[in-house]
Structure 1
Amino acid sequence: MVFKEIPAGAATSVWMATSPDLEGVGGQYAQDCGLVEPDAADAGTGGWAKWAQGTDDARRLWSMSEEMLGETFDV
């Protein structure tokens, strides 16, 4: 795990919120003040793991959560 000083840790969020180059851009993952793609085979080279964005897994986990809570939520 890599730790950063507070300003460095906040830099990507500030960049995403204020960069005119990102006007109208959404649904992206950013790291170190740049947009990144999925990590190649989860090699630890940066980016996000493909499994973290799995729509089928998200639906399955949402259903499991509702079942455990005994509640349903309209989203």
Structure 2
Amino acid sequence: MGCVKPSYIKNFAKKLMSTYEGEFTTDFEQNKEKVTAYTNVQNKAIRNRIAGYITRLLEQRATLRSEVESNV
């Protein structure tokens, strides 16, 4: 099992994803740069946690889509 993300990381990431829909990808490095550009988060660890959570969510969505398409 993985570690549980704090709710402020999850809420911030989901708000960014809804505001900048389609801007984020499954690449962590690109997401890290976009979080830096779209926010004023000064702490590198917080920025990386937000970018990592966004990456994880998008990878999970891509996996679910591929499973649904393969079942059809």
TM-score by length of 2: 0.35
Q: Which structure is higher in RCO with an 8 Å CA cutoff and minimum separation 6?
A: 2
Larger gyration radius, structure 1 or structure 2: 1
The structure where helix makes up a greater share of residues is 2
The structure where strand makes up a greater share of residues is 1
